[in-house]
Amino acid sequence: MVGYEFVLSSGEKIPVVIATRRGLRNITLRPKTRPVREIHISKPWMTSNAVALRFLEQKRAWCERIYNNAPQKQSVRPGDVIEFLGRRVVLRHDPARRANDFILNDNGSALLIVGGGADMFERRVRDFIRTQFLDAVKQMIRTAPRELWPRRIAIRDTSSRWGSCSTSGTMSFSWRLAFAPMDVMRYVVMHELAHVVHMDHSPEFWKTVGQLYGFGVERAKRWLNVHGAELHKYF
């Protein structure tokens, strides 16, 4: 149900979506900043909307912090330089080309020449990054013991989870990690691989993460907690 608004201190009005879930025991909040700015509330069957909204107000400071820290979307245009998968990439547009052309330079930088119409420029850049991200994830997974490899890898665009591991053998990753440092991206991959052994966050799980990742786990984890919202600034 939509029909409520959460007014930030800045005056911005955030739509509030309330849904009733059978079997739910507690009220849960999920502030979304992409692709639209909304707050989703799930509540138990016998809980009124008024109670759910009062709970939201109790969490005002937390919600304000999320929306204040969420970056505003930045457009991607020809001539821009963006960083993904550890490279600084110059973007160019050549409407005469039908396909993209990715050129790696000796100094570690790169050039992405995007073909097609101007109206498809951003979409083609996004799709290229998603494809490159998937290839990078596969390469990282191959460095781990084979018995941990997933049956299937899925690429998502989630705002609340960077990765997940299902009991069916599917691992999902947010392609936004392409904009993070490579060691941070690798931390998430190893985190999900560790869930093949431990489907929890027990001390044994974190020990496995450390064994797979090596030195620097806490640093990568801390970076993601501090800078995670910045990974959603494009597209």
Residue 2 binned pLDDT confidence (cut-offs 50, 70, 90): low
232 phi-psi bin (left φ>0, alpha ψ -120 to 50, beta other): alpha
Residue 33 and residue 66 in contact, taking contact as beta carbons nearer than 8 Å: yes
pLDDT digits (tens, 9 = 90+) for 105-155: 888 789 999 999 999 999 999 999 999 999 999 999 999 999 999 999 999
Give residue 27's pLDDT.
95
Q: How far apart are CA 65 and CA 68, in angstroms?
A: 5
What number is the average pLDDT over the span 96-103?
95
Q: Is the pLDDT of residue 20 over 80?
A: yes
Span 212-228, pLDDT tens digits: 999 999 999 999 988 88
Look up residue 181 and give its two tokens: 């440092």
- Reported residue count of the chain is 235
pLDDT of amino acid 170: 96
Lookup result for tokens 């050129």: 103
Strand order in the sheet with 28-32: 2-7, 13-20, 38-43, 28-32
* H helix runs in the chain, sequence order: 49-58, 60-69, 121-141, 182-194, 203-213, 217-227
Query: Residue 27 carries which DSSP code?
Result: -
| Domains of the chain with CATH codes | 2-69 (no CATH), 81-232 (3.30.2010.10)
Percent of the chain's residues with pLDDT above 90: 80
Closest by Cα among 5, 83, 67, 75 to 34: 67
Helices 203-213 and 217-227: crossing angle, nearest 10°? 100
Given its phi and psi angles, is residue 169 left (phi above 0), alpha (psi -120 to 50 degrees) or beta?
Answer: left
pTM of the full structure: 0.75
- In this predicted model, what pLDDT tens digit does every residue of 66-96 receive, in sequence order? 888 877 778 999 999 999 999 999 999 999 9
Cα distances (angstroms) measured from residue 28 to each of 68, 92, 127? 20, 44, 33
Average pLDDT, integer, range 22-51: 90
pLDDT in tens, 147-201: 999 999 999 998 668 999 999 999 999 999 999 999 999 999 999 999 999 999 9
